[in-house]
Structure 1
Amino acid sequence: MSKLKISVVLLFCLFACKPRNKQKNSKFTVVTTTTMITDLLQNIGGEAIEVKGIMGPGVDPHLYKASEGDVAKLTQADLIVYNGLHLEGKLVDVFEKMNQIGRETVALGGLLTEKQIINSEAFVSAHDPHIWFSIDNWKKITKELIVFLSKLNPQNKAVYQKNG
């Protein structure tokens, strides 16, 4: 291969791998894990935000492992929203690393008190991560997310409040 071709390939690789800067008009980007969380954020944010779910319908979040594409989405997100009660067990390390590089993360289970989290006598040391089964919990989480989104992305506060 000629030196010119090698130079062109190297330049292409250099610019293709360069992280993209957010444009002024780009939407606030939220990456979510499960479809329930994705749906919740899409309803709150509407057209004001871009929601990217990493797990599609029928995916078992307990067994899910992040792909390179998922990690790329997470590193480019303005906010990452996940369950946090060991539902995404194999992703906990990834979320911790996202915090270390300065990405905002919200564990929805952390927005609830110990009394609000569903427990089982059969699994005393574990919480039921299916927090959307309680309408009261889901309402509380919605209100907390509206406040959180409004702080991070104040120009869309009215949209979040209206949609929530």
Structure 2
Amino acid sequence: MSCGKQDGNQTAREDIAQRQINVVATTGMIGDAVRNVGGERVAVISLMGPGVDPHLYKASEGDVSRMSRADMIFYNGLHLEGKMAEIFEKMQQRIQTVAVTDRIERTRLDSPPAFAGNYDPHVWFDVTLWMEAVRHIAESLAEFDPSHAGIYHTNAARYLSTLDSLHVYVRDAINQ
């Protein structure tokens, strides 16, 4: 029984190696990060456009359909897309579903007293935290599509260098 499963996984891996990975990202920021890391290997759809509040966003039937056809789903986590949590839980049973904030050390996150026990999900405001999210995106793509792992790591290194330059610029501007 497991042999058949392995053969199926091998066939699926070979299929992914021959085509773009279909990705659904919840926000434009996450979609941009996935595009930067995935390059031409990914086809990304972002569900939420500019000006949409992800805290209040409810997935439409079309959104659920797009997610169900994706190879991978990337979302922020930390309850940013709180009204979609149940959908992510169901989707992860059959689709690679990645919360980009999962590998950020919780000690580095803000936890406002008014929201005891919860963390501020707006990690992109701290470039160094966003860089951790980008690393997680790269690792997730490389694990999903190991035959192109080198591309993801190279693209991530390039994007992380750009983000590091942004971090230095912001830090220097604040310190002036």
TM range (shorter): 0.7 to 0.9
Aligned to 1:123: 115
Q: Deviations over 1:81-136 (max 9, x none)?
A: 11111111110011011023x11111122111210222223322221010111111
Distance 1:62 1:45, change over 3 A: same
Counterpart code for 2:136:
E
Q: Deviations over 1:41-88 (max 9, x none)?
A: 111111111111111111111111111111111111111111111111
Alignment size in residue pairs = 142
Is 1:60 matched up with 2:29? no
Determine which structure has more spread, i.e. the larger CA radius of gyration.
1
- Going by fraction, where is helix more abundant, 1 or 2? 2
1:95-134 to 2 correspondence within 5 Å?
Answer: 95-100=88-93, 102-134=94-126
Q: Tell me the TM-score normalized by structure 1.
A: 0.80
* Unpaired segments ≥5 residues, structure 1: 1-21
Distance 1:113 1:78, change over 3 A: same
1:69 to 56, 62, 83: 62
Return structure 1 stretches of 4+ with deviation > 4 angstroms. Answer: 22-25
Q: Is the 8 A contact 2:22 2:71 kept in 1?
A: yes
CA RMSD of aligned residues (A): 1.7
Q: Is the 8 A contact 2:16 2:145 kept in 1?
A: no
Q: Tell me the TM-score normalized by structure 2.
A: 0.75
Aligned to 1:152: 144
* Unpaired segments ≥5 residues, structure 2: 1-14, 157-176
Q: Is the 8 A contact 2:27 2:49 kept in 1?
A: yes
Counterpart code for 2:75:
Y
Distance 1:80 1:135, change over 3 A: same
1:25-40 to 2 correspondence within 5 Å?
Answer: 25-40=18-33
Q: Is the 8 A contact 1:80 1:105 kept in 2?
A: yes
Counterpart code for 1:123:
F
State which drifts further: 132-141 or 84-93: 132-141
Q: Is the 8 A contact 1:118 1:131 kept in 2?
A: no
Q: Is the 8 A contact 1:27 1:50 kept in 2?
A: yes
1:127-142 to 2 correspondence within 5 Å?
Answer: 127-142=119-134
Task: Please give the alpha-carbon distance, in whole angstroms, between the structure 2 residues aligned to 1:151 and 1:62.
Answer: 29
